[in-house]
Amino acid sequence: MASEREVFHLAGPLHLTFIDWENANYRRSVAGCLVQGVYILERDRQEQRLGPEALAPPWWEFFHFRLLRCLIDGADSSIFGAIYEYRPPSSQKGHSAYQPHIVVAFRGTMTKKESVSQDLKLDLHLIQHGLHRTSRFETAMQTVRNMVAAAGDSRVWLTGHSLGSAIAMLAGKNMARSGMLLLTFLFNPPYVSAPIEQIKSPKLKHGLRFANTLVTAGLAFALKTREHGHQLSRAEEGFAVLSAWLPNLFVNPADHICSEYIGYFEHRKMMVEMGAGAIERLAAQQSIGSLVMTAMGKETEAVQFVPSANLVVNMTPCPDFKTAHGLHQWWQPEAQLQAKIYQYS
């Protein structure tokens, strides 16, 4: 029995009847629905829903996309991503700087038995800052490179939810290091740390973040004076190179998996205003965990750290964590969203 949330005409943004790529709400909703299409593709596979019984196609066909190819994880044969091509009807063709030609989308963790084992392994790699070494990411990265080579970086979007947004973020960072800035939509991106943002006291939150910054910066400085200095110096240079890339991050304060991005960017801004920008620059691109692993000689990449972003926060009250971490919230017309751009310099 299919869930109501899998059926587009019951759960999709049916109010978006007009194509308007200049509208940020439209772009966000389309990107979210294309990720939802990946989730439903995998559910269709698991439930053996074929032909007219398949529930996934309306999630992209409503917006005039066609499915070019599914991305398959070789370990369990699950569908973890999809490549879509925008094919508008002749009556609605037009030109917009935001209009995509290709969208590469990645789903997050699924709890169904056919895919949960491999998904949880990927989550563990993410926590250990080793997502970049997984075969799933290698497949994703090669796909993105191929699409950019074929269509051009200005016509390729990246999007993902949860674990999928971590894959999309890492792919986007790699492309940005090569000077190709892809329009990127990251829904509920994981931030691997203690959920300090969930603490109610602003004073305590600031104190914990300040202490964490000092410890992280101190550890980074100590490692820079030892044999790992060249690794950290390369990381610092790479962080600055990424500053021109402005991914869209969509987070919910009630979602402890991604809410720390709110504090991450605000704390960075506060530290600069306090005159402690040099300390913050050292700490903003590393975690204590990744530094410890670097000291142990392991190559790591803390996916969550980005210099710049358009941070969109959903302030709509949420009844539970499942809703706060869910994908459907991002195309609801009544959502109370607050957007702020953080530009690294």
Its pTM stands at: 0.88
3 state DSSP class of 68: strand
Tens of pLDDT along the chain (345 residues)? 678 999 999 999 999 988 899 999 999 999 999 999 999 999 999 999 999 999 999 999 999 999 999 999 999 999 999 999 999 887 666 678 889 999 999 999 999 888 999 999 999 999 988 999 999 999 999 999 999 999 999 999 999 999 999 999 999 999 999 999 999 999 999 998 877 777 777 777 767 776 666 566 666 666 555 554 455 455 556 677 898 999 999 999 999 999 999 988 987 777 666 665 566 666 556 655 555 555 555 566 678 889 999 999 999 999 999 999 999 999 999 999 999 999 987
- Distance, CA of 81 to chain centre: 13
Cα–Cα distances in angstroms (integers) from residue 10 to residues 58, 158, 299, in the given order: 11, 26, 45
Instruction: Write the DSSP string, 302-335.
Output: -TT--S-EEEEEE-S--SSHHHHH-SGGGG-TT-
**Do you know the residue count of the chain?**
345
Q: Are 57 and 129 in contact (CB under 8 A)?
A: no
CB burial class (10 A; 0-12, 13-18, 19+) of residue 121? middle
Residues whose CB is less than 8 angstroms from the CB of residue 309 and which lie 6 or more positions away in sequence, other chains included:
246, 247, 248, 249, 261, 265, 341, 342
pLDDT reported for residue 90: 75
Mark out the alpha helices in the chain (DSSP H runs): 8-11, 24-47, 58-61, 116-127, 135-151, 163-177, 202-224, 229-241, 260-273, 277-283, 288-295, 321-325
User: Position 217: which residue type?
Assistant: A
What Rg do the C-alpha atoms of the chain give, in angstroms? 20
The upper half-sphere exposure of residue 339, i.e. CA atoms within 13 Å in the direction of its Cβ, equals 12
pLDDT for res 81: 98
Contacts of 178 (CB under 8 A, 6+ apart): none
pLDDT of residue 269: 77
At 151 the pLDDT is 94
